[in-house]
Amino acid sequence: MVEGLEVALTDLQSSWNNVQHHTDEISSSRLLVRRGQAFNITLYFRNRAFQPGLDNIIFVTETGPLPDLSKGTRAVFSLEGHPGSSPWIASLQTIGANSLEVSLCAPPMAAVGRYLLKVHIKSLQGPVTAYKLGEFILLFNPWCPEDAVYLESEPQRQEYVMNDYGFIYQGNKNWIRPCPWNYGQFEENIIDICLELLDKSLNFQIDPATDCALRGSPVYISRVVSAMINSNDDNGVLNGNWGENYSDGTNPTEWMGSVAILKQWHATGCQPVRYGQCWVFAAVTCTVMRCLGIPTRVITNFNSGHDTDGNLIIDEYYDNTGRILENKKKDSVWNFHVWNECWMARNDLPPGFGGWQVLDATPQETSNGLYCCGPASVRAIKEGEVDLNYDTAFAFSMVNADCMAWLVFGGKEQKLHQDTSTVGNFISTKSIQSDERDDITENYKYREGSLQERQVFLKALQKLKAGRSPGSLRTESQPRSVPLSDSPRSLATPSLQPSDVVQVSLKFQLLDSPDMGQDIRFVLLALNMSPQFKDLRVNLSAQSLLHDGSPLLPFWQDTAFITLSPEEAKTYPCKITYSQYSQYLSTDKLIRISALGEEKNSPEKILVKKIITLAYPSIVINVLGAAIVNQPLSIQVVFSNPLSEQVEDCVLTVEGSGLFRRQQRVLIGVLKPHHRASLTLETIPFKSGQRQIQANLRSNKFKDIKGYTNVYIGL
């Protein structure tokens, strides 16, 4: 009688498999594989060799707390293989004296997550024996043509899945600056935190069996992650804060990587981390999605619309000094807004709407009752197909809403102008395998002022109206292509049409680069394009803005009286001193200057505005000597106090995936006015290839002086 086959040992071949599956950066000791791609394991037997025909080996995989064959969270498949019985495949590779190498393959639509692998061995005369072989993690596979996240280009896969650092574009449309970010999706424990994040979602809490079964869909995973990065409905990762008080947490501008945020969330028992704003939500989303295997990039939209009532009109209110007023409707134009694009097929939509999808984890509006947004097809946004899932109308308004400016005076509202091109400028993302910026505005909208762009806007408006009750859309949103006869536009408004009758224009021009700690010098340019003399009274003001467009009280005002001869141009010089703006500045470093001009004996008014972002000098990082894996490396960090006053409580933070296992924090203390200092850090790089070091300096006067350098680490 032949005795039953006994398994003594299993080799999951983690190191070799992980290299083949592009997961070796995560671990070499744990098995992490991608769906739709085979991986090999070896079974070692205690008592004899495997005998085909005599021994029947059946594999079982299970995921989630309630594995179920009918839901696809449990699979049973034989080494002999009965076609059609299971989408999982096992095939024999080699038979040794007391071993058996087997190739296993998950179907390309399998649920991602943590799996248990078991085996049942049935010999002819012996009993059925069962063994637990081990655990593995299954991820999405952008290398597999049958996977919904398949991305054909290898350079794109390297950038949008494998690259663990990047840039998030901030500033304003006239001054775009890259902010370095450490995504760190392959750092220690990050994959476990990402899976924990899925398990903390409301969907899992309510119905874990169904939630796990749906984890094969990148559309479903996207919505879960979008909701879980913010904490509005659940114990999500980040608390949002758009105010000015961050004393019980971290100022959003101080963060420079996702790893510290995710590890803090995990270490505190999944208590939301304080605080995030849009770029932090998007950066952490990028880390989680890339870790799970979904190609993802971070997108910045300058002058981003937040249209709360869905009429594609954003109303802005001004008083007669040109000061912007708090918006009673809560419509706003954000100086910039950051979201994600994730690459996936959209089998739930008509053909042609797959590819890049907008995903926005910043809690702005609810979607099906939860604070999440997307995935919304970028192509659907461009074509005005705002009725397609998910949240396409809201995403459309972020890049395509019109702005209406109103003068509030004596209890009345006077329409100043309607601007069709302010919203949605310089939509930006990091280039593939380069540190340059890519402008992808044309992916979202046809050229401003073109017939196609106008047609798409009207199509979107009609679809929105069709989905609402009659009368809920205000009539101002209709005549987009008709100039408003009672509201001359200023030349500073880029949407000036030839048909507009403009007799006098106003425009701001900066004389110097606006550096923090320095006076801001600028001029108001006034141009008379008519054959008559013009007497102008111009009220000027400056006020700080928060990142979401919310205005603070004005801190500078001036009045100019300008007389213009026919076709004459004049400049009016202005200066805002550091002492005038320093105590009024928010950490967003935004100043909005505005001018409201009125002509003598005329009801017509001209509004011009400009947003200034104050700049800091960058931290300089020098790598001293050659960078080699597992060899000591010295890194010099040079920083300075840009202000003409002493700053205190200075802390320098340095991080970089593959170079530092955790954030390095150095207490600097006091920095004297304009003092320049340097220090040298020692580290031992533990990963090879192209890496980035990020640094941030904060004090009691500033929070986000940043710097970065790229470094290649050799083997």
Is 174 one of the annotated binding-site residues? no
- Please report how many Cα atoms fall inside a 13 Å half-sphere around the Cα of residue 11, on the Cβ side: 12
* Residue pair 613/590 in contact by the 8 Å Cβ criterion: yes
* Residue pair 378/356 in contact by the 8 Å Cβ criterion: yes
For residue 529, the one-letter residue type is M
Q: How deeply is 698 buried, as exposed, middle or buried, from its count of CB atoms within 10 A (0-12, 13-18, 19+)?
A: buried
The whole-angstrom separation of Cα 614 and Cα 46 is 71
The whole-angstrom separation of Cα 414 and Cα 673 is 48
The whole-angstrom separation of Cα 511 and Cα 508 is 10
Q: For this structure, is 360 an active site residue? A: yes
Catalytic residue, from 270, 278, 291, 372: name it.
278
Catalytic residue, from 337, 419, 548, 588: name it.
337
Q: For this structure, is 120 an active site residue? A: no
Residues 6+ apart with CB under 8 A from 303: 173, 333, 334, 335, 336, 422, 423, 424, 425
Q: How many helices (H) and strands (E) does the chain have?
A: 13, 36
Is 448 one of the annotated binding-site residues? yes
CA gyration radius for the chain?
30
Secondary-structure percent of the chain, ordered helix, strand, coil, rounded to 5: 15, 40, 45
Q: How deeply is 175 buried, as exposed, middle or buried, from its count of CB atoms within 10 A (0-12, 13-18, 19+)?
A: middle
Q: For this structure, is 419 an active site residue? A: no
Helix (H) or strand (E) holding 343, with range, is strand 332-344
Is 391 one of the annotated binding-site residues? no
* Bridge partner residues of 102 (DSSP): 41, 92
CA-based nearest residue to 360, from 271, 299, 315: 299
Helices 218-229 and 190-199: crossing angle in degrees, nearest 10, is 90
Is 443 one of the annotated binding-site residues? no
The total of other beta-carbon atoms located within 10 Å of residue 457's CB is 22
Cα angle for residues 659, 665, 668 (degrees, 5° grid): 130
Helix (H) or strand (E) holding 271, with range, is none
Cα angle for residues 498, 504, 508 (degrees, 5° grid): 95
Catalytic residue, from 360, 391, 419, 704: name it.
360
Give the annotated binding-site residues. Answer: 400, 402, 448, 453
- Catalytic residue numbers, as ranges: 278, 337, 360
Q: Which residues are known binding-site members for Ca(2+)?
A: 400, 402, 448, 453
